[in-house]
Structure 1
Amino acid sequence: MRVHFIVHESFEAPGAIEQWAVDRRHTVTSTRLYAGERLPAGPDGIDLLVVMGGPQSPATTTAECPYFDAAAELALIVSCAAAGKAVLGVCLGAQLLGEALGAPCERSPEPEVGAFPVTLTEAGRSHPLFDGFEETFEVEHWHGDMPGLTADATVLATSEGCPRQIVAYGRLLYGFQCHLELDRGLIDALIESAGPELAALRHHPFVQEPESLRRTDHRAMNQRLAVLLDRIAAEYTAA
């Protein structure tokens, strides 16, 4: 399988998703936008497009962030979806996936930063992606927005702070507002990048202190992620 990552910032790296791809001996390529690398011209050479997170929003302009061209990313996502490729959007990537399919992102009812549980919806419990999963399991969060919903979208998981944590936009098109790919190194990088912004959010009920963020054991969520990615890869192969 040919996996291509769009990476907006060094501190929002693919983490356990890239490790999964390496472990499975998939072909891995990436566009590091923060380093000035260019997006692929189209879906050729891509089986799974993974769009990572970042502090930007789909409304961020090139004047505000010169290396973030939302229109170009949306066009690539649309072309991959139209070509029958698998697309996984994480955090900002989930919001971009929704936007590409016609659903503008929205503010989450609550910002979430830290390890908090998500709960599968009725649709999620019956979805083959989550076969055998517990109804509620812990994931990481780092967001203030959430993806929009198209008429065909199905919410598979929610949290207390955000009603749109995992969204299926169609076969092979998945948005994860939450993070299962993080590890201690990425958490440290996110904390450093956030600076005083993180301190300003501490009065919110779903925002943890840096010390709590650093104590999270990510192994279980990384293992769940590997199962989900295996199933997406199998779904793509079957298609």
Structure 2
Amino acid sequence: MKKRFLPYLSMWILAVMFVSFSATGNAQIKVTGTAIGTAGSYGDNPATTFTAALDGDITTYFDAKVSSSFVGYDLGEGKSVLLTSIRYVPRSTHPQRMVGGQIWGSNTSASFSNSNEYDVLYTITDQPAVGVYTEAVISATESYRYICYHDNSSCNVAEVEFYGSVSTAIGDIETSDVITTGGTGMVKVQNAEQGSTVIIYDLTGKIIAKNLVVSSTETFAVPSGLCIVKVVGSQMSTNKVLVK
């Protein structure tokens, strides 16, 4: 993920942090992006390419030309998802071929060509039912730009859906004095100028906490998940904060 620096006209901090993330309490968003997958299809049938597994129609399916194949999304530059669950439907005539299929995540390559370029997030161990969605929980601890379903049976998947918490990178933030840290259900702001204002947002832009700074250390109770902290005041300061 590329980093960048944001200029300051007044003292302000935006820091995206983990605050004891848990899947519960955070709305699951169906992930979309640029469709990616193994090119072609068995018999060069245009109706069974990888896009058929992402069209919302469980009667269509992806039947790849090669055994090792995948289908998924590229979320785009600066975006990533912390996966929390998936839903999938097998090709009606070949449900057994999804056994052993895996969910992969990568921040390196959309081709998933080398094993050191991706993480295995989930493996399907049971044959899924035909004609209905099967849902599985994903216990991911890292966010990824590229996500996919992969197997060694030419995919043969009718539909695959990804759900999770999508974030957009803000970049490295410059401030020297103010320290912003996350804990269990709380955010701590230290060394902010008295009289400045701390505003905390969730990833939808909703304000979840706001208050004036009256001491050198301020603590804010917030829901678990990713949040954005903004400190507004008159004093200029610089410090780099890594944003995931």
Q: So what's the TM-score if we normalise by structure 2?
A: 0.25
Which structure has the higher relative contact order (CA within 8 Å, separation 6+)? 2
Q: So what's the TM-score if we normalise by structure 1?
A: 0.25
Q: Greater share of strand residues, 1 or 2?
A: 2
